[in-house]
Amino acid sequence: MSAVLIRGGTVVNADRAFRADVLCQDGRILAVGEGLSAPAGATVVDAGGQYVMPGGIDPHTHMQLPFMGTVTMDDFFTGTAAGLAGGTTSIIDFVIPDPQENILDAYKKWRGWAEKSASDYSFHVAITWWSEQVRKDMGTLVNDEGVNSFKHFMAYKNAIMCDDETLVNSFKRALELGAMPTVHAENGELVYLLQKTVSEMGIKGPEGHPLSRPPMVEAEAANRAIAIADVLNVPIYVVHVSCVESAEAIARARARGQRVYGEVLAGHLVLDDSVYRHPDFATAAAHVMSPPFRPKGNSEFLWRGLQSGNLHTTATDHCTFCAAQKAAGKDDFSKIPNGCGGVEERLAVIWDEGVNTGRLTPSEFVAVTSANTAKLFNIYPQKGSVSVGADADLVVWDPAGTKTLSVKTQHSKGDFNIFEGRTVRGIPSHTVSQGELVYVQGDLRAVQGKGRYIKRPAFGPDFGAVQQRAQVQMPTAVAR
Ligand code: URP
Ligand code: ZN
Ligand code: ZN
């Protein structure tokens, strides 16, 4: 394999930033230090004035997802290639078995689809139903296949929603196995009811989508999942936290000492619910995703969550449907396939709105776009760190480079860009994946099938360690 020497940049890790060259060879980082010399045949990248950071890890994508009667536009090649163009070098996607489908069969099916990935990838597996066989197969996934996280959809009734019986059984099993339970927190019964109510009021267009999924619907599910996890002493990770109410639920639980982690989407950090009132159906429908974009004010609260450490990771939930697919819900918003893109834009949007505004330092940026995900899903420092021995998955970041984000220039196969027209300052100049240059100043060199499946080991015996909080006397609010 060829060597790549990245010379003259500032290495940014989650814990510190320092001037150093980075030498990549045979897919790994061979050396990090000042004044490194290039081995014969090495490609030298001049990173003067730039940052050298661990490649982004997107812990929440859906490539080639069969969902709501259709399949997403991006497959594992086009989706991961788009990620590489934006500096994201790994994704964690989701195996989502149908209820009653054998979860190992579903896992094998997704592994087959993902073979065309251009970047490294891994899988959370959704638990959509419960049986003794599911319990057994969760063990096989953890012990033999390197799956250390299980997803639970608390929404999407009559499809992939799981009930409390499944949640409780699966959380308990996850704890036994040393695997992280994760939840899509929305009360699916309430969504089902509100969709009918809103429709009966005569609201059929995309503006009905957020009305049927208000923040309390998310907060109820977040609180319930957190409470179940608390009773069972299992850590929990809440995906796509979108509103004040569920971010507060996480913050409250953490203040009590519970291990609860929260993920935020780039879209939820910068967009608001006015998108659903766009007069053009296609534009409004293109923003239909769950949880929906929220009223102004929620985004700032999510930023505070990242800043304070109560929220931990950023993702995209990249799940692209084109206008023709979204048109399935032309007369009924509940039939619009849920999902938006963003895997290519996440880093630039978060840098621009996070670092350029002073909300995040570059090291904090690395934490929330890469290192925290690697730690929470147990692949650190193989991923998420610029250090000797780590995978050579890197992004060379030009803080002065600018770009106007647009569907016209994106690499995703989706036909819409939720960040359309946004000019960002801070963009990748080079992306390195497995020690190879895969993106060089606008030239994407993604190779179909080059990505590897990344096994994530189970967490050790301390995973469920818990302080006996019940014995801690909480002060009473009012002494009578
Ligand atoms: O709307 C969304 N988020 N679509 C993908 C499935 C999910 O809920 O994550
Ligand atoms: Zn979801
Ligand atoms: Zn999702």
Instruction: Locate 183 and state its tokens.
Output: 């939840």
DSSP 3-state of 173? helix
Is it the case that residue 477 has pLDDT exceeding 90?
no
pLDDT computed for residue 478 by the predictor:
58
The arithmetic mean of pLDDT across residues 13-19, rounded, is 98
Nearest CA to ligand 1 atom 9: 317
For ligand 1, is residue 65 a contact (CB within 6 Å)? no
The arithmetic mean of pLDDT across residues 387-410, rounded, is 98
pLDDT computed for residue 295 by the predictor:
98
**What DSSP letter does each residue of 399-415 carry, written as one string?**
EEEEEE--TTT--SS-S
pLDDT computed for residue 209 by the predictor:
98
The arithmetic mean of pLDDT across residues 221-241, rounded, is 98
Per domain, the residue ranges of the chain are: 56-381+455-470
Share of the chain above pLDDT 70, in %: 97
CA distance 269 to 404: 18
CA distance 35 to 127: 50
pLDDT, one tens digit per residue, over 321-380 is: 999 999 999 999 999 999 999 999 999 999 999 999 999 999 999 999 999 999 999 999
- pLDDT category, 466, cuts 50, 70, 90? confident
CA distance 442 to 399: 16
Nearest in space to 228 (alpha carbons), one of 265, 291, 185: 185
CA distance 202 to 186: 24
Nearest CA to ligand 1 atom 5: 339
Mutate to test the pocket of ligand 1, among 338, 416, 418 (most ligand atoms within 8 A of CB): 338
CA distance 20 to 52: 9
Amino acid occupying residue 307: Q
Rounded to the nearest angstrom, the distance between the alpha carbon of 53 and the centre of ligand 1 is 29
Length of the chain, please? 480
Nearest CA to ligand 1 atom 1: 289
Nearest CA to ligand 1 atom 4: 339
**427 backbone dihedrals φ, ψ, rounded to 5°:** -145, 160
Rounded to the nearest angstrom, the distance between the alpha carbon of 212 and the centre of ligand 3 is 18
pLDDT computed for residue 64 by the predictor:
98
Rg (CA), the chain: 22
The arithmetic mean of pLDDT across residues 447-475, rounded, is 82
CA distance 450 to 190: 43
Contacts of 469 (CB under 8 A, 6+ apart): 256, 257, 258
For ligand 1, is residue 287 a contact (CB within 6 Å)? no
Is it the case that residue 447 has pLDDT exceeding 70?
yes
Rounded to the nearest angstrom, the distance between the alpha carbon of 213 and the centre of ligand 2 is 13
Nearest CA to ligand 1 atom 8: 290
Is it the case that residue 410 has pLDDT exceeding 70?
yes
pLDDT computed for residue 2 by the predictor:
84
Amino acid occupying residue 34: E
For ligand 1, is residue 242 a contact (CB within 6 Å)? no
pLDDT, one tens digit per residue, over 251-303 is: 999 999 999 999 999 999 999 999 999 999 999 999 999 999 999 999 999 99
Question: Which superfamily does CATH assign the domain made up of 56-381+455-470 to?
Answer: Metal-dependent hydrolases (3.20.20.140)
Rounded to the nearest angstrom, the distance between the alpha carbon of 93 and the centre of ligand 3 is 9
The arithmetic mean of pLDDT across residues 422-442, rounded, is 98
pLDDT, one tens digit per residue, over 158-216 is: 999 999 999 999 999 999 999 999 999 999 999 999 999 999 999 999 999 999 999 99
DSSP letter assigned to residue 368: I
Put simply, whether the predicted model's pTM sits higher than 0.95 gets the answer yes
Rounded to the nearest angstrom, the distance between the alpha carbon of 377 and the centre of ligand 2 is 18
Cis bond before residue 381 (omega within 30° of 0): yes
- Which residues neighbour ligand 2 (ion) by CB within 5 Å? 184
CA distance 335 to 136: 35
CA distance 256 to 250: 10
For ligand 1, is residue 62 a contact (CB within 6 Å)? yes
Asked whether the beta carbons of 240 and 291 are under 8 A apart, the reply is yes
pLDDT computed for residue 397 by the predictor:
99
Is it the case that residue 472 has pLDDT exceeding 70?
no
For ligand 1, is residue 290 a contact (CB within 6 Å)? yes
For the chain, how long is the longest CA-to-CA vector? 79
Residue with tokens 């609260």: 301
CA distance 126 to 107: 10
For ligand 1, is residue 96 a contact (CB within 6 Å)? no
Other C-beta atoms lying within 10 Å of the C-beta of residue 335: 15
CA distance 222 to 245: 9
- Position in ligand 1 atom list of the atom nearest CA 288: 1
